[in-house]
Structure 1
């Protein structure tokens, strides 16, 4: 495949997970416990990929400026998350409250959201998924192994991502079709991020290093501040162990992709 081929194919597969997550929500087939466990696994894998793979690469690519750009990415996501007000955080796992706050299908209705709050969450998620595509495509500009690993890390958390977005839309009073469409928009945003990064890489490879450092900071926020609190507060006893398993899964994947020569 050409320079764009493999990164765009893998981004399309990752984006499909958003669509599937939204579809499962609308069809009500994914239980809250399954959502927590899938999110925990994806969280661990994403945390491992960010700290053990992307962070060292960013420090090597931008020895002096990387910490500043990484911090900018983290703080940018913090401010974006805050802009959603009292709405559930874009990366929070939505599970039914323990006492009577659920409609019985895993959707939170204890505190119904306004349409404005729902749109704020969608805006935050679109930036998040834009970063998903940026990270996958940008990692391929480092090496094929880095690209494959980031593809795996991101795909693992996209299923609950689509689930959460559709759940927020339903809680904001949207129809099932609109809820599904909101998850599909996340897929489009992922592909847009990948295309933008691949085009930018052809125009100015140095700019990709800056974008990737910012994305690394955003993924630190997503894994540590976005995903882990939701998993931790879910009440699922196995969740912390699944997070650890996700990190170990990343380490095994790192070994395997290098062992088969995806450098």
Structure 2
């Protein structure tokens, strides 16, 4: 039986996703240059997470992970070309098929990612309290950027603050769902390392596609070199978060 006291930490992690969305939507006006900068920042974060975090982690547990990275790319491409046109994105936005697939692709990757965030926090507390705290901090450090990233992508595509905030809220709900899944199935079955590796690899493919095919081309087409610099800032932010994790974690062992 899992430690239900760990649910408090899962709630904190889920709340951080929502806070990230609030950081974005509370700013009343976003200029085109600001939106381009946010797209570049989001692309940098997604690519860094996929290449430096998701791919190595998936390969560590399953040598066949590259095929699932490719499947993640192919799934989003297929969705963009053949499926997205049949989804209702909101009449007021007049979103194109390409925009719909970008939004759904980004959400799919993020939801898979946050689901396993919640599952990892809950499961690690069952092993050891200090391990649970370490995993919680590692997850918490990227939660606000996750909320900010998905809210900015959804707002840029829909021009709707409610949908942008809703996207961040869904990440929080997905985190809670992952933890609740761990609680419910703890006495029967928890996803093994290979299952988790497949999900992470698939998310890596989704993130790479969304960043390289949907976000960066828009930034490049704008010709705004200042906005383009935020791509590098997004990657730098990833390293800062990793440094924060490594700095805090040893004190908890």
1:51-90 to 2 correspondences below 5 Å: 51-63=51-63, 65-82=64-81, 83-85=83-85
TM-score (normalizing by structure 1): 0.68
Q: Residues 193-225 of structure 1, C-alpha deviation per residue, up to 9 Å, x if partnerless?
A: 223322344531314333223222222222222
Q: In the alignment, which residue of structure 1 is the partner of 2:129?
A: none
User: Distance between the aligned counterparts of 1:49 and 1:236, measured in 2?
Assistant: 24
Q: How far apart are 1:113 and its partner, in Å?
A: 2.0
Unaligned 5+ segments in structure 1 are 91-108, 168-178
Structure 1 stretch 47-56 or stretch 200-209: which is displaced more?
200-209
Q: Is 1:137 the equivalent of 2:118?
A: yes
Name the Cα RMSD after superposition.
3.7
TM-score (normalizing by structure 2): 0.70
Contact 1:166 1:182 in 2 (8 A): yes
Contact 1:50 1:216 in 2 (8 A): yes
Count of aligned pairs? 226
The match for 2:179 among 171, 174, 198 is 198
The match for 1:242 among 230, 233, 236 is 230
Q: In the alignment, which residue of structure 1 is the partner of 2:205?
A: 217
Q: In the alignment, which residue of structure 1 is the partner of 2:12?
A: 9
Q: In the alignment, which residue of structure 2 is the partner of 1:259?
A: 247
Q: In the alignment, which residue of structure 2 is the partner of 1:36?
A: 36
| 3-state SS, counterpart of residue 222 of structure 2 | coil
| 3-state SS, counterpart of residue 249 of structure 2 | coil
Shift in alpha-carbon separation, 1:52–1:190, aligned structure 2, 3 A: same
| 3-state SS, counterpart of residue 233 of structure 1 | helix
Shift in alpha-carbon separation, 1:74–1:134, aligned structure 2, 3 A: farther
User: Distance between the aligned counterparts of 2:103 and 2:211, measured in 1?
Assistant: 18
Q: How far apart are 1:255 and its partner, in Å?
A: 1.8
Shift in alpha-carbon separation, 1:124–1:50, aligned structure 2, 3 A: closer
User: Distance between the aligned counterparts of 2:205 and 2:99, measured in 1?
Assistant: 25
Contact 1:53 1:146 in 2 (8 A): no
Q: In the alignment, which residue of structure 1 is the partner of 2:149?
A: 157
Contact 2:17 2:143 in 1 (8 A): yes
Shift in alpha-carbon separation, 1:70–1:139, aligned structure 2, 3 A: farther
Q: In the alignment, which residue of structure 2 is the partner of 1:45?
A: 45
User: Distance between the aligned counterparts of 1:45 and 1:118, measured in 2?
Assistant: 20
Unaligned 5+ segments in structure 2 are 125-134
